[in-house]
Structure 1
Amino acid sequence: MTSVYLDHAATTPMLPAAVEAVTARLGATGNPSSLHASGRLARRVVEEARETVAQALNCRPGEVVFTSGGTESDNLALKGIYWSRRAADPARVRVLATAVEHHAVLDPLVWLEEHEQAEVELLPVDREGRVDLDVLRAAVERDPDSVAVISVMWANNEIGTVQPVAEVVALAAPHGIPVHTDAVQAVGAVPVDFAAVGVDALTLTGHKVGGPFGVGALVVRRELDVTPQLHGGGQERDIRSGTLDTPAIAGFAAAVQAAVKDQASYAERVAGLRDDLVRRVQRVVPEAVLNGDRGTVPGGRLPGNAHLTFPGCEGDSLLMLLDAQGIECSTGSACSAGVPQPSHVLLALGCSDDDARSSLRFSLGHTSTAADVDALIEALGPCVERARAASARTR
Structure 2
Amino acid sequence: MHEKRYWIAWNLVRGVGPKRFAALLAHFGGAEAAWHASPKHWRNVVGFSEAVSKSRLEITEADIDLAILHAEAAGAVVVTLADPDYPSLLRYIYDAPPVLYVSGQPNFMEPSIAVVGTRTPSPLGRNIARRLAAELSEHGITVVSGLARGIDTAAHQGALSGKGQTIAVLGAGIDVVYPAENWQLSAKITEHGANVTEFPPGTAPCGGNFPARNRIISGLSLGVLVVEAGFDSGSLITAEYAADQGREVFAIPGALGNSLSKGPNMLIKQGAKLVEDVDDILEELQLPDRYKASNTASPPTSGRTLEARIKELLTIRPVHIDEIARLTGLDVARISAVLLDMEMDGVILRMPGDLIAKA
Under a length normalisation based on structure 1, what TM-score does the superposition of the two structures give?
0.29
Which structure has more relative contact order (CA 8 Å, sep 6+)? It is: 1
Under a length normalisation based on structure 2, what TM-score does the superposition of the two structures give?
0.31
